[in-house]
């Protein structure tokens, strides 16, 4: 499926909001995307098309994966990065090729008041070095008409490839892919074995992923826009401030620079922007970890579902639903979850009669099934998330697990009253 096919699917199922009035990419489009909350296609952002909130809810994600909402975890947890990747000669992405690079020809948005500048937020950075490739999304700040500052987080694969090339005094060839099949975008946010992002995307899609080769040798999937270039071995500039998943400003750091040498795009391209700290950003960060937690918990008890909640920035809070088999399963599930996702800070374990998509229901489980001194585990001095504003200087935090499952021996006490379908006989 192409990016456009997916947008068409959103349109035909009446889930797409369309804005035809001209809007500015500086604050206005991001603000409207935040207010709308749904997938929104702007027909005129400073003269160009752009979409935001593309995978901005679990409903959109489920439709992309072709499963019901509560089936996302089952699909992802059983998936291996072993799909087929095919190299092709032609791509609609090559329809228009610009060698006189000017990034202001794209509707790159500025999102928040104190942001360091306009940022590309949905750019999949594909890099290749000595036979190794990587594809992952990095935030990219515009620092010149043909230059981007790339936040390469250590020890991610792009960071490692750049470090290897730089140690040999070499540039790292890269391509920034914007507006690929959403399965490719999702795959590039998933931590798969080195170089397996496109194989994983093909597994997700259940169909081969086609790649074509850029002038600099980097092989990329079909997309709306591809920026071709290289990362300089030495050059660094200030990157930031920028808003991360918690909605707070991340620090300014000295980061590497991508020089763009060529822009390719489809005719009338649709730019993809991810709203920082918006639901699409949170889901792309968090959902790939849910199957890891699910698989780890399945080693200790019968797990039904796992979500990283939106209120917990899809990163710091999990709710785990289990079918409790023996007393103590809740606490074993808590330990397994913390081991599987080291950034996790608070976790609640519930029974399978609790709707884990409904936070009122989760709170009900905490209210009626928890005794604080027995059911809450507090684990201080554990490695936490660098994104947690309340984390300690040394990177440690305190983890809290809440076992909100019923006491098995007292099951009747916890029975939730049901209303029968039938009416009372007269």
Residues lying near Mn ion in the complex (CB under 5 A)? 134, 157
Task: Find tokens 């991001």 and name the residue.
Answer: 30
Nearer to Mn ion, 108 or 285 (CB): 285
Nearest distance from residue 157's CB to Mn ion, in Å? 4
Q: Which two tokens stand for residue 312?
A: 């917990």
d(CA 54, CA 73): 20
| Cα-Cα-Cα-Cα dihedral sign, residues 61, 67, 70, 72 | negative
Sort 255 into a burial class: Cβ within 10 Å, 0-12 / 13-18 / 19+.
buried
Residue number, nearest CB to Mn ion: 157
**Helices marked H in 195-305:** 197-205, 279-286, 290-298
> How far is CA 247 from each of CA 35, 153, 161, 279, 383, rounded to the nearest angstrom?
15, 18, 29, 11, 22
What's the CA gap between 134 and 153, in Å, rounded?
A: 13
Encoded tokens for 187: 């795959």
Answer for the pair 205, 3: CB distance below 8 angstroms, yes or no.
no
Is 244 catalytic? The answer is yes
Closest to Mn ion by CB, 157 vs 272, is 157
Nearer to Mn ion, 191 or 254 (CB): 191
Q: How far is the CB of 136 from Mn ion (least distance, A)?
A: 5
The active-site residue, picked from 181, 244, 250, 403, is 244
Query: In the bound complex, what is the minimum distance in angstroms from residue 143's beta carbon to Mn ion?
Result: 25
Residue 287 or 348: which CB sits closer to Mn ion?
287
Least CB distance from residue 195 to Mn ion, whole Å?
Answer: 7
Nearer residue to Mn ion within complex by CB, 269 or 288: 288
Least distance (Å) between residue 46 CB and Mn ion: 33
Residue located via tokens 């290897």: 164
The residues carrying an active-site annotation are 244
């Amino acid at each position: 499926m192409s990016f456009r096919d997916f947008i068409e699917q959103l349109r035909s199922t009446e889930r797409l909001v369309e804005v035809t009035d001209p809007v500015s990419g500086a604050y206005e489009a991001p603000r409207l995307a935040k207010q709308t909350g749904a997938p929104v296609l702007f027909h005129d952002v400073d003269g160009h098309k752009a979409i935001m909130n593309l995978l901005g809810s679990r409903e959109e994600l489920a439709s992309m994966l072709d499963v019901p909402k509560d089936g996302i975890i089952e699909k992802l947890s059983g998936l291996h990065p072993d799909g087929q990747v095919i190299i092709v000669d032609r791509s609609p992405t090559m329809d228009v090729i610009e060698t006189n690079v000017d990034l202001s020809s794209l509707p790159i948005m500025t999102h928040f008041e104190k942001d360091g500048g306009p940022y590309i937020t949905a750019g999949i950075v594909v890099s290749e070095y000595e036979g190794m490739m990587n594809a992952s999304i990095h935030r990219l700040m515009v620092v010149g008409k043909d230059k981007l500052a790339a936040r390469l987080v250590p020890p991610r694969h792009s960071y490692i490839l750049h470090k290897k090339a730089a140690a040999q005094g070499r540039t790292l060839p890269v391509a920034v892919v914007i507006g690929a099949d959403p399965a490719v975008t999702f795959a590039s946010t998933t931590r798969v074995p080195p170089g397996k992002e496109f194989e994983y995307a093909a597994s997700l899609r259940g169909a081969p992923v086609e790649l074509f080769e850029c002038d600099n040798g980097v092989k990329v999937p079909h997309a709306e826009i591809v920026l071709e270039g290289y990362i300089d071995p030495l050059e660094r500039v200030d990157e930031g401030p920028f808003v991360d998943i918690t909605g707070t400003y991340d620090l300014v750091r000295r980061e590497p620079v991508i020089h763009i040498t060529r822009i390719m795009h489809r005719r009338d391209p649709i730019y993809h922007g991810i709203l920082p700290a918006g639901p699409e950003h949170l889901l792309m960060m968090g959902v790939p970890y849910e199957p890891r937690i699910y698989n780890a918990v399945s080693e200790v008890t019968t797990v039904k579902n796992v979500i990283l909640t939106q209120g917990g920035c899809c990163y710091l809070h999990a709710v785990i639903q289990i079918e409790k088999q023996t007393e103590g399963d809740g606490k074993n599930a808590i330990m397994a979850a913390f081991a599987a996702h080291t950034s996790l800070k608070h976790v609640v374990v519930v029974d399978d009669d609790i709707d884990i998509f409904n936070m009122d229901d989760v709170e009900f489980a905490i209210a009626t099934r928890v005794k604080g001194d027995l059911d809450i585990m507090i684990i201080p001095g554990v490695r936490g998330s660098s994104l947690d504003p309340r984390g300690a200087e040394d990177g440690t935090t305190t983890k809290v697990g809440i076992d909100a499952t019923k006491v098995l021996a007292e099951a009747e006490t916890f029975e939730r009253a049901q209303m029968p379908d039938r009416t009372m006989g007269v």
